[in-house]
């Protein structure tokens, strides 16, 4: 079977003279899913409620298994309620469908035993069996999701849902690992793009509380898929769209970003695309754990390395990335040299934006404004930015990058270094988010693997009201 082939459900009519092609059964337009029978004595079921029970009992059951369906030997092992199908709303991202095994005698999904009191994600074209993996009863189809464009490698492991964000090189979708129920941000990247191996290579070498973790990597013919930890609070960009931040709030967030970039630079990695959209929040509040994301433009460098490729987001680019043509006011993308201090400039732009609600370089002719390094310091004063905050911005937005602060000096600046209360707040927030992850682990009572645990990710907690771009 090819990567993009889709399994076609087998519909067995109660009248063996009819084939699937000869039977036309109108789907209920309000149904969110459908069960196609794999047993000739079961019928097609449209799913419209949020919960369905299947088993042999006669009362309080939605799908009944009778002696017509199975031999007496199999029927003796069918439980009164053998499995339950439910769907649950996850934040603003839509519904996720689950199947829970409520029988000691086994419910199987695609030939694998779920285990009593365990639940797995149910997604398009999954086959459900009871008692043994050969006793198929239904094939499930989800009318609200379409995973047909994903290769079999991905579909076997993940149930893929709505788009969290998209860009030049691909898209990011919410995905659930079917067995563990853990949620991920699944990034799909075209193989012909320049970042195809750079990002997973860099991410696999990193481990820091303020950098997003890579947990899966799937290589297919045309795309790679990167499974990143899902951070449910959205981005700093989304938070700034609501309002600019108070100075202490900005400091709590940007202290964590500075620590992450310092960690990168100490490992000879330049990020090259620092911006609010790449700063993820554990919850939609300034008081949260922060994770730096999107390493598609990052690059390994040394002290003597000078970078040349134009990349990044225009409003956050450092002046040395531009070169001004001789005898002309026209600006071109750089073919000259720049260093990791482009990250310091971007950090200064983000800090200015956090405190004032506007970018220091915006509007028409951004390149010229950036090249000259001219910004409006009075917006900082109007926004009641402290002298220390104004000073660190001044040190970051220096056109001459040899005079610009690196991240060691940024973190030693009095604005960060002397704020003991802020540092304690950050440590508490990181510990809090870590505790939430651990407390959301529940035991898996599957006797075949007693030590295995199911992790219920933060998507299932009240903090998941926003999506992640």
What pLDDT, in 10s, does the model give residues 211-247? 999 999 999 888 899 999 999 899 999 999 998 899 9
Same domain, 260 and 283: yes
Tokens 């009240």 correspond to: 462
Q: Report residue 106's pLDDT band, with 50, 70 and 90 as the boundaries.
A: very high
Is the pLDDT assigned to residue 4 strictly greater than 80?
no
Kindly state whether residue 443 falls inside one of the protein's structural domains: no
Give 150 or 386, the one with higher predicted confidence. Answer: 386
Q: Show the DSSP H helices in 194-331 as ranges.
A: 198-203, 236-242, 247-266
Residue 74 and residue 133 in one domain: yes
Q: Is residue 134 part of a domain?
A: yes
Per-residue pLDDT at 63: 96
Residue 7 counted as domain residue:
no
177 and 317 in a single domain? The answer is no
On average, the pLDDT of the chain sits at: 82
Q: Are residues 212 and 249 in the same domain?
A: no
Going from the C-alpha of 322 to that of each of 8, 56, 304, 333, 403, the distances in angstroms are 54, 72, 20, 5, 18
Q: Is 394 annotated to bind ligand?
A: no
Rounded mean pLDDT, 264-270: 94
pTM: 0.75
Which whole-number Å values give the CA distances from 441 to 3, 178, 227, 447, 456, in the listed order? 33, 15, 19, 18, 6
pLDDT of 274 reads: 96
Whether residue 196 has pLDDT greater than 90: no
Q: Has residue 437 been placed in a domain? A: no
pLDDT, tens digit, 9 for 90 and up, residues 386-418: 999 999 999 999 999 999 999 999 999 999 999
Going by C-alpha positions, the residue among 397, 236, 257 that lies closest to residue 318 is 397
Q: Which of 191, 206, 229 is the last residue of a domain?
A: 229
Residues facing 175 on adjacent strands:
160, 184
Same domain (yes/no): 207, 256:
no
Is residue 202 in a domain? yes
One domain for residues 113 and 215: no
Tell me 461's DSSP state.
S
Residue 390 or residue 459, greater confidence: 390
CATH number of the domain where residue 206 is located: 3.30.200.20
Question: Which range marks the domain in which residue 110 is found?
Answer: 33-142
- Are 49 and 182 in a shared domain? no
Backbone angles phi, psi at 228, to 5 degrees: -105, 150
Contacts of 97 (CB under 8 A, 6+ apart): 33, 85, 86, 87, 121, 122, 123, 140, 142, 159
Choose the catalytic residue: 101, 126, 142, 273. 273
Say if residues 455 and 180 touch (Cβ distance below 8 Å): yes
Q: Which of 229, 263, 289 is the last residue of a domain?
A: 229
Q: Do 359 and 315 meet the contact criterion of CB atoms below 8 Å apart?
A: yes
Residue 397 lies in a domain: yes
Measuring CA to CA, which residue among 361, 373, 307 is closest to residue 334? 307
**Is 268 inside a domain boundary?**
yes
Average pLDDT (139-165) is 82
User: Annotated catalytic, 465?
Assistant: no
Percent of the chain with pLDDT over 90: 53
**What is the sign of the dihedral through the CA atoms of 62, 132, 68 and 10?**
positive
List, for residues 41-73, the tens digit of each pLDDT value.
999 999 999 999 999 998 999 999 999 999 999
For residues 369 and 284, state if they share a domain: yes
State the Cα–Cα distance between residues 184 and 149, nearest whole angstrom. Answer: 18
Tell me the β-bridge partners of 443. 453
Asked whether residue 318 is assigned to any structural domain, the reply reads yes
Are residues 222 and 244 located together in one domain of the fold? no
Q: Do 390 and 268 share a structural domain?
A: yes
Last residue of a domain, one of 229, 246, 276: 229
Residues 67 and 136 in one domain: yes
Residue 56 belongs to a domain with what CATH number? 2.60.200.20
- Give the CATH number, domain containing residue 266: 1.10.510.10
Q: How many domains are there within the chain? A: 3
Say if residue 166 is in the same domain as residue 251. Answer: no
């Amino acid at each position: 079977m090819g990567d993009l082939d889709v399994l076609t459900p087998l519909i067995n009519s109660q009248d063996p003279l009819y084939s699937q092609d000869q039977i036309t059964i109108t789907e209920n337009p309000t149904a969110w899913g459908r069960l196609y029978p794999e047993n000739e004595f079961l019928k097609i079921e449209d799913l419209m409620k949020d919960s369905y029970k299947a088993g042999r009992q006669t009362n309080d059951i939605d799908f009944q298994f009778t002696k017509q369906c199975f031999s007496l030997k199999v029927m003796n092992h069918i439980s009164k309620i053998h499995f339950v199908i439910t769907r649950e709303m996850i934040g603003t991202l839509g519904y996720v469908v689950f199947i829970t095994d409520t029988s000691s005698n086994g419910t199987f999904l695609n030939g694998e035993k779920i285990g009593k009191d365990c639940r797995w994600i149910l997604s398009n074209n999954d086959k459900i069996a009871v008692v043994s993996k050969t006793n198929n009863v239904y094939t499930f189809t989800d009318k609200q999701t379409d995973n047909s464009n994903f290769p079999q490698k991905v579909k076997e492991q993940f149930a893929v849902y709505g788009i969290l964000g998209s860009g030049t090189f691909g898209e990011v979708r919410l995905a659930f690992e079917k067995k563990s129920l853990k949620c991920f941000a699944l990034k799909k990247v075209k193989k012909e793009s320049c970042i195809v191996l750079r990002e997973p290579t860099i991410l696999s070498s990193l481990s820091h509380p303020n950098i997003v973790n890579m947990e899966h990597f799937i290589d297919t013919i045309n795309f790679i898929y990167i499974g990143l930890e899902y951070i449910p609070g959205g981005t700093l960009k989304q938070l700034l769209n609501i309002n600019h931040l108070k100075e202490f709030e900005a400091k709590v967030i940007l202290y964590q970003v500075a620590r992450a970039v310092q960690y990168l630079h100490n490992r000879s990695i330049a990020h090259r695309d620092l911006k609010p959209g790449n700063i993820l929040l554990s919850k939609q509040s300034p008081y949260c754990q922060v994770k730096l994301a999107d390493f598609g433009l990052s690059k390994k460098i040394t002290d003597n390395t000078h970078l040349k490729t134009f990349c990044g987001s225009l409003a956050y680019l450092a002046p040395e990335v531009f070169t001004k043509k001789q005898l002309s006011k026209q600006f071109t993308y750089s073919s000259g040299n720049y260093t990791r201090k482009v990250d310091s400039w971007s950090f200064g732009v983000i800090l200015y934006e956090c405190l004032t609600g506007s970018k220091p370089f915006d509007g028409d002719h951004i390149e010229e404004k950036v090249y000259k390094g001219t910004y409006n310091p009075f917006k900082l004063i109007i926004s009641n930015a402290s002298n220390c905050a104004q000073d660190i911005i001044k040190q970051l937005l220096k056109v001459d990058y040899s005079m610009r602060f690196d991240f060691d000096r940024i973190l030693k600046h009095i604005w960060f270094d002397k704020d003991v209360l802020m540092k304690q707040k950050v440590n508490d927030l990181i510990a809090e988010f870590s505790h939430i992850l651990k407390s959301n682990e529940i035991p898996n009572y599957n006797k075949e693997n007693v030590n295995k645990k199911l992790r219920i990710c933060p998507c299932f907690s009240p903090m998941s009201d926003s999506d992640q771009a």
